Structures are given as structure tokens and as C-alpha cells.
Structure 1
């Protein structure tokens, strides 16, 4: 692993602590009137989305519906042309940089796992846990008992306890996905954005991933973007359907599946 790679991972540690997350209204994420255009194409069009504290939300929609752009806005990668984005009652996401948003408590897992293949599972989690420690302290300093306990707890949660000394590069595709989820968990985010977590997984891995994501909701909010409708049915509590950058439908999986507009633009494909 290069120093540059580690430095990027730890860059969030250079910022002062964010204000405390205010969940007094039970809403962890507010997106209101969000519009984003790229060369005349409207990727998001007056998008309104509200995620409750502790909920598991599934986001579906055809290609080009705006799912990735929505996550880019939440994490600070893309700035909207109009609209507002709030994390709880007091944290204005549009006023923060990407590292500051990560430090505030929003984690994102991309579709392709981005683990450090030449380091062990434990070391990957140690690097993710690093926080404000310098690169050299991460590599050479001893962890505190509480930090070791935190990593062990996450290893148990993601099902990799028996692989703590395994090089990440030798894990199966599904195990790498779970490791990356674990790398988010050690940072104790309040909102997790998970992009197509079961793409390329075996049926057994898919089932285990469903159980893992369901178990994570409650202490934190989990937003899952996914194309696999069977998987969505297995975990869905509330489903939001995006189409042409806006919310087309929202509700239970049964309500969404039976919505004629959804059948026409997505499920009927």
C-alpha cells in the first residue's frame, strides 16, 4: 500500500471535530430541492428525500435515474446547482468538504471493494480506525485495548473473525465486500451508503449480506442502492424509486411493485 493511499484514507483526521449530530426530529438526512446538471443533462431534478434515524432504505431505479449522483451529493463529491442537504438538524452538508462529511459520520461503500490487498483483514480495519493518528503511528504504534475490542467486535459482526490474519487480497469477492463494510463500521458512522453490495456474489454470500445489512440498521441508518430486486425484496422496509432524477414512488415493497408508473419505467424492463 502506498503512503499516498494511506494518506487519502486518513485525510479526514486533519479536520476539527464536527458539531454533534442532532436527531431530535428523528430524521438523519434531508435532501430538499436538489438539482444537478452535467452539460445540460439533469442528473437530479428537484429531488426530495428524507431518511429516518435507524432505518434501512432501499433506493432503486433504472440506469441514469440519479442514484450515484445522489450519493455524490450526500458525500460532498458533487455540489448541487440548487437545493439543500442536511445531516440531522444542524450539519449543513453543502458547507463541508468530503473528508469533513466522512468525519461527521457518513460512510460510503462503492460497488467495487477498495480494500488494501497486501495487508491483513485486521490491518485494514486498523487503518480505517486510525482517525487523527498519523500514518506512521498507524503502522507502528500499538492499539489500545478499547481499539482492539472495537475491531474484534466488527470482525464478529461482518463474519470475518476467523480471517483476521488473512491477507485481504486472498479473500473472496463477498468477503472483500464485508471487509469494506467493516472498514466503515469501525469509524462508527450514523449513516451508511452502500452501493450494489451483492453484485457478483454467490447466492450464499448474498443471503449473508442481507442478514448483515438488516442487522446494522437501528444503531445507524443504512441506505442501499441496488439493482437486484430479489435482494431488495429480502431486506426492504421502505423503497424509494428514482426516475429521471426525481422520486417516482416510495413506500413498502408491495406498494412500489404494484405502482403502474414503477412497472412501466423499471420493473417491467
Structure 2
């Protein structure tokens, strides 16, 4: 993996931490927000992007989530692993408003109650979700897909009824470079490889500047080279965005965690273990229910 890309996200995260240590007192704001927080915006002053507390979800008597508690820090890249049926997808459904829990609380920042919001409102406050199967406009070009994603941002929608500004064109160009699709700008999305479609959908999310990205098995079906580039992409986003990556590919998880970042293992709807990848790999319960299979 390219060393400068591998360390870019970690450097941004360290910069944020140093900023937090030097700002002093309460009432400050993270480096990601240089203006006062409005009532309809998440407040990240305490450094936590997402809180899930005792979330329980049942379907016909089956507990998909069983008093699940989880916290994701601002700018953190967290990998979530676990066997099929562990509750990973249901967890993301709760965060994005698709599923309402039977009990518990879900908070974005320290002030936004996610359980009171609809799916579209949750997307608008800065939570983006990437499903396993890529969803792009296959008849449109890469550029047009990113342009439409920009138009979905309520802050810039009105200005797009005329023509793109230089700033907006620059933003599309930056995202195309980030997702390795600059050379494919005018290529019809339906002609892209599976991995390129995955990158394009991630780029469409990034056009709306989400504070939290939920990524469900993002490298499933990718080639080794595409998987490597995806790891580089996610590491470059760390520190600017909080990322929750649900994945079964342990080599990919190892690339993302670099041996020291926290990994969460879910089993039967709750946290079974949490720690570095080496910690959870050495956990006998994790080996029995997941890694040993």
C-alpha cells in the first residue's frame, strides 16, 4: 500500500486529537466545524460521532439486536466483524432510520436523537450509507452521477439549476481523483467494472460531505488490486469522516486497522469483543463463533 496514502488519515486524526487537547475548557468544537452548531446540526464537541445505547430489535420473537451499545469517535475508522446473523445490517438499519428499535437510544453527536428522524432527514444531517451492491445511474456518465449527487445536497441544489460554479466543478474533480475515476469521467457508469461502480457510489456519498459513512462489505466481489485501492481510499478519508466498515474479508480489515485500531465483533445482536485485531483474534469466544469457522 502506498505509504503516504496509508498514513494520511492517521495524521488527520492525530491533528484533530492535538487540537482537542489544546483548545481547553468546555464548549469548544472539533476541527471539522469552525462555526457555532445550529439546533438541527450534530454537536461533536465531546469527540463522539455516534452513540448507540442498549438498542434492542426483535422480529417475530427473534432478537436481531440484544441491548447493543456502541460508540464511534469523530474521525474514527471502525471495522465491525461477526458471523452472519450477528446483527450488523440491523444495526445500520437502526442508525439510518430504516428500522425502529424496541428499546434503547441512538444519538448523532451529543444532541441529535436519530430515533425521532425519518430516513431522508438522517441522510440530510450527515449520515451516508453504502450497501453491498452498488447503486449508480448506469445510463449516465461518471461525471453526471457525481453531479446528480451534488444536486441532492440541499445546500447547493438551487444553484445547480443554472450551471456548475468553478467551486462545484473543482469538488467533482477532487472526488473523481479520490475514487480513481478521473480517466473515466465521461464513461457510462454501466460500463465500469464492479469495483469502479463501488467507488463511484462512495464518491456520490462523498459529494454530500457526510460526517458518518456506513459501508457494508464494500470490497465484496473486487479484485485484489481494487481491494488495495479501496483500503487506500478509506484510510485517506479517516480523520475527515467517521467510517463504520462492516466486512468479512479479514485481510482487508487488517489493512484498515494497521494493527492498533479498534475492531468490534458482534454476535447474537450484541458486542462480543472489542479491541485491536490481534486482541479479538486471540479471544477464544471470537475464535469459536466466527474466526474458527
Q: Is the TM-score greater than 0.5?
A: yes
| Corresponding residue number in structure 2 for 1:7 | none
**Is 1:241 aligned to residue 262 of structure 2?**
no
**2:163 alignment partner, SS class:** coil
Check conservation: 2:150, 2:156, Cα contact below 8 A. Answer: no
Q: Aligned match of 1:62 in 83, 106, 109? A: 83
**2:70 alignment partner, SS class:** strand
| Corresponding residue number in structure 1 for 2:236 | 215
**TM-score relative to the length of structure 2:** 0.83
Q: For 2:41 and 2:66, how far apart are their aligned partners in 1?
A: 30
Q: For 2:251 and 2:123, how far apart are their aligned partners in 1?
A: 31
Q: For 2:225 and 2:144, how far apart are their aligned partners in 1?
A: 26
Q: For 2:241 and 2:43, how far apart are their aligned partners in 1?
A: 13
| Corresponding residue number in structure 1 for 2:68 | 47
**TM-score relative to the length of structure 1:** 0.90
| Corresponding residue number in structure 1 for 2:32 | none
Check conservation: 1:29, 1:52, Cα contact below 8 A. Answer: yes
Q: For 1:145 and 1:213, how far apart are their aligned partners in 2?
A: 27
Q: What's the CA shift for 1:132? A: 3.0
Distance 1:184 1:18, change over 3 A: farther
Check conservation: 1:18, 1:103, Cα contact below 8 A. Answer: no
**1:153 alignment partner, SS class:** helix
Gaps of 5+ in 2: 1-37
Q: For 2:132 and 2:82, how far apart are their aligned partners in 1?
A: 16
Q: Deviations over 1:140-192 (max 9, x none)?
A: 64112211111111111111111111110000000000000000101000000
**Is 1:36 aligned to residue 57 of structure 2?**
yes
Q: Aligned match of 1:84 in 105, 128, 152? A: 105
Gaps of 5+ in 1: 1-16
Check conservation: 1:129, 1:186, Cα contact below 8 A. Answer: yes
Q: What value does the CA root-mean-square deviation take over the aligned residues?
A: 1.7
Q: For 1:107 and 1:133, how far apart are their aligned partners in 2?
A: 16
The 5 Å alignment of 1:193-204 reads: 193-204=214-225
**Is 1:169 aligned to residue 190 of structure 2?**
yes
**2:273 alignment partner, SS class:** strand
**2:233 alignment partner, SS class:** helix
| Corresponding residue number in structure 1 for 2:279 | 255
| Corresponding residue number in structure 1 for 2:204 | 183
